[in-house]
């Protein structure tokens, strides 16, 4: 192991132990002796439990527990950690956070691997139509989104990486305080969830840089971060006050991607409150106007049934209506695009571009970009690309 790696590992270890000590101190400070069955006494000057009291309840020496809070390099057993959970009245999220900081559960092996959103995952986002959806990474950067996400939350395409970071945006963008109803409550909740996630990546340099910059940029972040609040879950209602259409009410759901658990998908489902579905459709129409896709994408979206909203699987519907799977068959890309475009026009949809069609065909299990020598209209032999296993009827 070279010297650089040894220094990096030592820094990660020091950071983890300091976080562990700070976490234990904040949990100890929020409890009263009465809550754990101890007498208050008359000489108590500081709030919370004393170190000696925690050590007594956990069943360890005062010196040993003091070393633990001081960030010394000691490894508590699982049994001691469970006693700490019970003594400090930790909930499920706090218990997980404690075990991660104490390295009783290993963090992911690759912390700095590039975060990639696959074509299949992007296609999945596009299926949500008028429901804003996006993918975020381990540092809460927005990595991918659908059109409804841009229409409601802003044009992610024109934002820098830092501006697309959820935590950075809510704490440093002045407009978020008007956009998010009950801003302080929402910001505190997101910060606690962010803190819980940070425990999984001790020593991540980019996370440390983000936290450092937030401490400088936001007085609220600077005041709340030392509290060590941790929470889990990102479900429930979300109310926004959009500058163009007023109040919007969504049901928010976040879930992990199974193959890439560092990635999370968040979907906002418009609820009937405040006429949210129609307002989102209006915002989506305005979005398509701004990006040059016509005034009514596709064909007056609010008049279409639920299964025909923008972003749905038009390629799959075209396959079912116009094509047949035949083993060994081959069809040129140009013929695919012509047939697909005609079908979309006939049914009132805006066709996907060639790249989107190719990605959708691959999702449907077809082999794409297959080269074949063909004869053109001038009887010249040439190589062309197409789709294998498909016949257009």
Domain extents in the chain: 3-101, 119-290, 313-392
Topology adopted by domain 119-290: Beta-Lactamase (3.30.450)
Report the pLDDT value the prediction gives residue 154, as an integer from 0 to 100.
94
Residue keyed to tokens 């489902």: 269
Residue in 269, 305, 266, 310 with CA at minimum distance from that of residue 287: 310
Residue keyed to tokens 């307002």: 279
Cα separation of 135 and 56, whole Å? Answer: 46
Better pLDDT: 368 or 106: 368
- Crossing angle of the two packed helices 3-29 and 92-101, in degrees rounded to 10: 150
> What distances in angstroms separate CA 198 from CA 175, 210, 368, one per listed residue?
26, 11, 40
Report the pLDDT value the prediction gives residue 106, as an integer from 0 to 100.
47
For the entire predicted model, the pTM comes to: 0.61
Report the pLDDT value the prediction gives residue 42, as an integer from 0 to 100.
62
Residue in 307, 323, 341, 313 with CA at minimum distance from that of residue 387: 323
Better pLDDT: 315 or 171: 171
- At 36-94, the pLDDT tens digits run 788 776 677 777 898 999 999 999 999 999 999 998 888 888 889 989 988 999 887 88
Q: Assign 105 to helix, strand or coil.
A: coil
Cα separation of 219 and 215, whole Å? Answer: 7
Report the pLDDT value the prediction gives residue 171, as an integer from 0 to 100.
97
Topology adopted by domain 313-392: Arc Repressor Mutant, subunit A (1.10.10)
Pick the CATH number of 3-101 from 3.40.50.720, 1.10.260.40, 3.40.50.1000, 3.30.565.10: 1.10.260.40
């Amino acid at each position: 192991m070279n010297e650089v790696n040894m220094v990096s590992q030592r820094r990660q270890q020091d950071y983890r132990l300091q976080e562990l000590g700070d976490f234990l101190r904040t949990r100890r400070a929020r409890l009263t002796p009465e809550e754990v069955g101890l007498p208050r006494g008359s000489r108590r000057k500081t709030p919370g439990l004393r170190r000696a009291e925690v050590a007594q309840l956990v069943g360890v020496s005062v010196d040993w527990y003091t070393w633990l809070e001081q960030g010394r390099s000691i490894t508590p057993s699982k049994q001691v950690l469970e006693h700490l959970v019970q003594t400090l009245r930790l909930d499920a999220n706090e218990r997980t956070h404690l075990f991660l900081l104490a390295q009783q559960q290993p963090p992911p092996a690759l912390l700095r691997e590039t975060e990639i959103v696959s074509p299949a995952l992007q296609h999945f986002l596009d299926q949500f139509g008028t429901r804003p959806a996006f993918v975020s990474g381990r540092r809460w950067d927005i990595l991918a989104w659908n059109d409804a996400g841009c229409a409601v939350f802003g044009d992610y395409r024109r934002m820098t990486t830092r501006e697309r970071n959820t935590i950075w945006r809510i704490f440093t963008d002045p407009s978020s305080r008007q956009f998010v109803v009950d801003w302080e409550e929402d910001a505190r909740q997101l910060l606690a969830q962010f803190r819980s996630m940070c425990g999984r990546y001790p020593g991540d340099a980019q996370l440390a840089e983000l936290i450092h910059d937030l401490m400088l940029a936001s007085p609220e972040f600077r005041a709340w971060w030392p509290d060590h609040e941790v929470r889990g879950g990102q479900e429930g209602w979300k109310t926004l006050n959009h500058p163009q259409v007023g109040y919007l009410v969504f049901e928010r759901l976040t879930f992990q991607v199974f193959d890439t658990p560092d990635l999370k998908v968040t979907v906002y489902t418009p609820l009937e409150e405040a006429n949210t579905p129609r307002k989102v459709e209006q915002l989506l129409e305005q979005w398509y106007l701004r990006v040059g896709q016509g005034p009514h994408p596709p064909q007056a979206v609010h008049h279409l049934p639920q299964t025909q909203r923008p972003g749905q699987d038009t390629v799959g519907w075209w396959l079912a209506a116009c094509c047949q799977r035949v083993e060994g068959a081959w069809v040129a890309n140009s013929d695919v695009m012509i047939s697909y475009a005609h079908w979309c026009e006939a049914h009132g949809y805006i066709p996907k571009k060639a790249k989107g069609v190719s990605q959708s065909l691959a999702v449907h299990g077809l082999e794409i970009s297959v080269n074949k020598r063909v004869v053109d209209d001038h009887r010249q032999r040439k190589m062309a690309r197409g789709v294998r296993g498909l016949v257009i009827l």
